[in-house]
């Protein structure tokens, strides 16, 4: 497992429509009532007034089923705010079974009536392909519809589309422009990404102090990703004084809110004893929390913990299961480790071909150990057809990266001959290199070559 100096993620998270707010209920109700005055017949007005009062009571009582029932009535009557909120309830599964398609159905109805929040959330649905088929152009259309009406969520969404180059030409400057508009309205997510942009120098000159200022604005509003990043800055001493204790405190807040990067950082802190007492068992607990959310570095670290028995009872089967999860997401170290598990039969059925397959994936990503093992598989003809030229290719890549075992194996390969003809100068060169790096076996081979008159230092 790596140390806790992880870099902030460059990708911008898709804004997720918030769960129903439990504060400011009376204000929301009054806003709804202002719209109802214009809706026609007295009976219709009375029904809506009654529904709003019942929604108010249901929200205060946290009675989601009743809230859903009353909100549905208002939405069916054509109230755009109710339609927007009904979409949220379907999106989050509050008071009703979670249903992305019905969420987007109601947001679409509300957006048609000019509801800016619904348009912003519908944009996110199109961007993610949740409840609707992914469509970057429609994502942009609804984001702009919302943003142009001055809605901060819509402005944030437009910024994200520019940052990712979805539906528009990628532009960090335009992303920052829209995020600043949203942040100036108090949008916490926007303040967070503005701060991160200053930290990474994306769309603006890098400035750690401005980065901290904007991230603190987000932190003050309880934005958990900002809390996590602030913790990392305290750990690294970037823009703030280095302080492991404060780093751990901010990670704890973010981890409790479910931010997997913070959970992973807490695990590292417990492992290393930075800002908190060293505790392998607690480290493992937080690794699992992050891993179960699909955070790939944590999945790989959980596998390592099971493989070594660090913080948890050793289990090759559990290790292999977690290696597979991380490897399937493209994590090179996990791919290499899964290859070892297949090669040795640790925790799963022994299979040389599968081992070579995973090593090839990792080696193509530059994993040096995988390059070494792949070279060995080609040299032995195990799990793949014997091919000394391919063995030479992969051993060379690993050796040039400083892998001493690869240097030794290159010496052996050249000594016996790639095509059956020994190449003593190359063999001597690599045995000498490996011996110089402290490999005793290479030193033995080098001494043997000298005794047989096969080594000439002038050829090195």
90 part of a folded domain: yes
Q: What is the mean pLDDT of residues 349-368?
A: 98
Q: Give the CA-trace dihedral at 301, 306, 308, 310, to 10 degrees.
A: 80
137 part of a folded domain: yes
166 part of a folded domain: yes
Question: What is the b/e burial string over 118-132, where b = at least 16 CB atoms within 10 angstroms of the residue's CB?
Answer: bbbbbbbbbbeebbb
pLDDT tens column, 88-124:
999 999 889 999 999 999 999 999 999 999 999 999 9
CA 369 to chain centre: 24
Domain range for 157 is 1-170
Q: Residue 2 pLDDT more than 60?
A: no
Q: Which residue has the tokens 């205060």?
A: 60
Q: What pLDDT is attached to residue 51?
A: 74
> Counting Cβ atoms within 10 Å, is residue 369 exposed (0-12), middle (13-18) or buried (19+)?
buried
Q: What is the mean pLDDT of residues 244-271?
A: 98
Around 384, how many Cα atoms within 13 Å sit in the side-chain half-sphere? Answer: 19
pLDDT tens column, 291-327:
999 999 999 999 999 999 999 999 999 999 999 999 9
Among 64-78, 89-103, 364-378, 421-435, where is mean pLDDT lowest? 64-78
CA dist 74 → 69, 82, 118 (Å): 9, 6, 16
Percent of the chain with pLDDT over 70: 89
> Counting Cβ atoms within 10 Å, is residue 175 exposed (0-12), middle (13-18) or buried (19+)?
buried
Quick one: pLDDT band at residue 459, thresholds 50, 70, 90?
Answer: low
Q: What pLDDT is attached to residue 251?
A: 98
Say how many residues make up the chain.
460
Torsion 102-106-112-116 (CA) sign:
negative
- Helices (H) and strands (E) counted in the chain, each on its own, are 24, 0
pTM score: 0.83
Domain at 123, CATH number: 1.25.40.10
Mean pLDDT, all residues of the chain: 90
Q: What pLDDT is attached to residue 3?
A: 33
Measure the CA–CA gap between 163 and 206, rounded to whole angstroms: 17
If we measure between CA atoms, which residue out of 20, 2, 170 comes closest to residue 87?
Answer: 20
Count of domains for the chain: 1
Q: What pLDDT is attached to residue 13?
A: 44
Measure the CA–CA gap between 126 and 118, rounded to whole angstroms: 12
Residue 86 corresponds to which tokens in the numbers above? Answer: 């009904």
With contact defined as beta carbons under 8 Å apart, do 302 and 291 qualify? Answer: yes
Q: What is the mean pLDDT of residues 137-156?
A: 97
With contact defined as beta carbons under 8 Å apart, do 327 and 338 qualify? Answer: yes
Quick one: pLDDT band at residue 10, thresholds 50, 70, 90?
Answer: very low
Measure the CA–CA gap between 157 and 139, rounded to whole angstroms: 9
Around 128, how many Cα atoms within 13 Å sit in the side-chain half-sphere? Answer: 18
Q: Which residue has the tokens 């994200």?
A: 160
5 part of a folded domain: yes
Question: What is the b/e burial string over 428-451, where b = at least 16 CB atoms within 10 angstroms of the residue's CB?
Answer: bbbbbbbbeeebeebeebbeebee
pLDDT tens column, 167-180:
999 999 999 999 99
Q: What pLDDT is attached to residue 4?
A: 32
Measure the CA–CA gap between 450 and 460, rounded to whole angstroms: 13
Rg (CA), the chain: 29
Q: Which residue has the tokens 């913990």?
A: 305
31 part of a folded domain: yes
Provide the 8-state DSSP code for 37. Answer: T
Q: Which ranges in 77-223 belong to alpha helices (H)?
A: 80-92, 100-112, 116-128, 136-148, 152-164, 172-184, 188-200, 208-220
263 part of a folded domain: no
Q: Residue 9 pLDDT more than 90?
A: no
Q: Which residue has the tokens 């032995």?
A: 380
Percent of the chain with pLDDT over 90: 81
98 part of a folded domain: yes
114 part of a folded domain: yes
Q: What pLDDT is attached to residue 163?
A: 97
Measure the CA–CA gap between 153 and 176, rounded to whole angstroms: 14
């Amino acid at each position: 497992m790596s140390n806790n100096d992880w870099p902030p993620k460059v990708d911008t998270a898709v804004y997720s429509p918030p769960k129903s707010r439990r504060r400011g209920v009376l204000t929301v109700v009054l806003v709804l009532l202002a719209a109802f005055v214009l809706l026609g017949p007295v009976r219709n007005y009375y029904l809506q007034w009654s529904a709003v009062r019942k929604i108010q009571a249901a929200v205060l009582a946290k009675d989601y089923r009743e809230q859903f029932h009353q909100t549905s009535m208002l939405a069916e009557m054509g109230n755009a705010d109710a339609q927007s909120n009904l979409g949220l309830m379907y999106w989050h599964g509050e008071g009703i079974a979670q249903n992305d398609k019905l969420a987007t159905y109601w947001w679409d109805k509300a957006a048609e009536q000019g509801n800016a929040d619904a348009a912003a959330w519908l944009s996110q649905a199109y961007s993610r392909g949740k409840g609707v088929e992914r469509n970057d152009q429609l994502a942009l259309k609804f984001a702009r519809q919302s943003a142009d009406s001055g809605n901060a969520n819509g402005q944030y969404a437009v910024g994200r589309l520019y940052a990712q180059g979805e539906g528009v030409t990628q532009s960090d400057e335009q992303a920052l422009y829209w995020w600043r508009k949203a942040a100036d309205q108090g949008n916490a997510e926007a303040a967070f990404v503005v701060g991160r942009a200053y930290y990474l120098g994306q769309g603006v000159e890098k400035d750690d102090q401005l980065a901290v200022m904007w991230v603190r604005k987000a932190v003050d509003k309880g934005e958990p990703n900002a809390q996590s990043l602030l913790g990392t800055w305290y750990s690294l001493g970037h823009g703030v004084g280095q302080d492991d204790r404060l780093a751990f405190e901010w990670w704890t807040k973010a981890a409790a809110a479910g931010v997997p990067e913070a959970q992973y950082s807490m695990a590292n802190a417990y492992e290393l004893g930075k800002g908190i007492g060293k505790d392998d068992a607690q480290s493992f607990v937080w690794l699992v929390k992050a891993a179960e959310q699909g955070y790939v570095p944590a999945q790989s670290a959980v596998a390592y913990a099971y493989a070594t028995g660090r913080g948890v009872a050793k289990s090759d089967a559990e290790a292999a299961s977690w290696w597979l999860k991380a490897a399937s997401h493209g994590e090179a170290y996990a791919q290499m480790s899964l290859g070892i598990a297949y090669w040795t039969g640790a925790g799963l059925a022994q299979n040389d071909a599968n081992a070579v397959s995973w090593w090839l994936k990792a080696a193509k990503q530059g994993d040096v150990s995988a390059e070494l093992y792949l070279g060995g598989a080609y040299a032995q003809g195990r799990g793949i057809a014997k091919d000394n030229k391919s063995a030479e290719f992969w051993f060379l890549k690993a050796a040039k990266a400083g892998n001493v075992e690869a240097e030794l194996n290159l010496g052996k390969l050249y000594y016996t001959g790639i095509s059956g003809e020994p190449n003593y100068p190359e063999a001597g060169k690599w045995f000498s290199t490996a011996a110089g790096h402290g490999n005793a076996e290479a030193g033995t081979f080098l001494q043997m070559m000298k005794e047989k008159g096969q080594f000439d230092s002038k050829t090195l």
